[in-house]
Amino acid sequence: MIKMIAFDADDTLWTNEEHYLNVQKRFADLLEIDLSFKEIDQALLETEIRNVPIYGYGVKSFALSMVETAIQLTGGQVSAATINNILAEIKAMLTDDVELYPHVESVIRSLAQDYRLAIITKGDLLHQQSKIDRSGLTPYVDQVEIVSEKTTESYRRFLDNLGVVPQHFIMVGNSLRSDVLPVAAIGGVGVHIPSAFTWAHEEPTQQQGSHSAYHQLEHIGQLPGLIASLKAA
């Protein structure tokens, strides 16, 4: 029996990582240094991961890590104009339109008739809230939870607060590490929908990925079929 279905937001309901990738490419061009895109991007990723415990996730953290990487890779020679351009890219990201993936609106609307729906996302509070507001999905969603990390503990606390047992809970998302495996680990149903773009830091390590059982779909349009088959089983 399923009572609640929760969705990750970025790269599950709408495009996100693609915007980061585009900014990363422009960032590499802006620096005008003698390193390949791959080398610059690797340095940025290392800065980002090192800063997660201090800055957390989201666009503002990404901004501060870009500025830091720009200073580091240019040996302190980056110009104020380049940093200004980085800030402009960030402001554009924060006000960009929300592009829902195909099927999202109809699937959410239809599932809302039979289940309690939630969005569980991590990142920047204001930016996530603003994207959810602009997505047009709020009329169908009962709970919005913006967290700083998605762990077995954070899912357990979320479900406890609502009085839902994990066995009645489905979590749908593009990240095995954040959306699928921790939910499967506490006895819930994890549904993995890979996206064309997933941030390198969201890829699970071999060990994390090797144990739990979960479902995998190609796109969210297949979700109602999976839920019907779970009910029939």
**Residue 81 contacts a second copy per CB under 8 A:** yes
Nearest distance in Å: CB 95, a second copy: 6
Rounded CA-CA distance 50/48 in Å is 5
**Residue 2 contacts a second copy per CB under 8 A:** no
The binder of a second copy chosen from 40, 43, 137, 146 (CB under 8 A): 146
**Residue 124 contacts a second copy per CB under 8 A:** yes
Q: Give the range of 31-39, 122-130, 177-185, 209-217 binding a second copy by CB under 8 A.
A: 122-130
Q: Which residues, other chains included, contact 12 with Cβ-Cβ below 8 Å and sequence gap of 6+?
A: 101, 172, 173, 174, 179, 193, 195, 220
**Residue 138 contacts a second copy per CB under 8 A:** no
Q: Which is nearer to a second copy, 11 or 145 (CB)?
A: 145
Could you please report the per-residue DSSP string of 110-163? HHTTTSEEEEEEES-HHHHHHHHHHHT-GGG-SEEEEES---HHHHHHHHHHHT
Q: Which class for 195: exposed (0-12), middle (13-18), buried (19 or more C-beta within 10 A)?
A: buried
Scanning the structure block, which residue is given the tokens 């089983």?
A: 233
Scanning the structure block, which residue is given the tokens 């279905």?
A: 5
Judge contact between 2 and 169, C-beta under 8 A: yes
Rounded CA-CA distance 4/115 in Å is 6
Nearest distance in Å: CB 128, a second copy: 9
The binder of a second copy chosen from 116, 127, 131, 150 (CB under 8 A): 127
**119: closest CA among 86, 231, 134, 84?**
134
Q: Which is nearer to a second copy, 58 or 190 (CB)?
A: 58
Q: Which class for 52: exposed (0-12), middle (13-18), buried (19 or more C-beta within 10 A)?
A: middle
Nearest distance in Å: CB 168, a second copy: 20
**Residue 7 contacts a second copy per CB under 8 A:** no
- Considering only residues 46 through 65, tell me which ones interact with a second copy, judged by CB under 8 A: 54-57, 60-61, 63-64
Q: Which is nearer to a second copy, 81 or 196 (CB)?
A: 81
By CB under 8 A, the count of residues binding a second copy is 34
**Residue 148 contacts a second copy per CB under 8 A:** yes
Q: Which is nearer to a second copy, 104 or 179 (CB)?
A: 179
- Side chain identity at 56, as an amino acid letter? G
**217: closest CA among 170, 156, 151?**
170
The binder of a second copy chosen from 106, 110, 129, 167 (CB under 8 A): 129
Binding site for a second copy (CB under 8 A): 54-57, 60-61, 63-64, 67-68, 70-71, 74, 76-81, 83-84, 87, 90-91, 94-95, 124-127, 129, 146-148
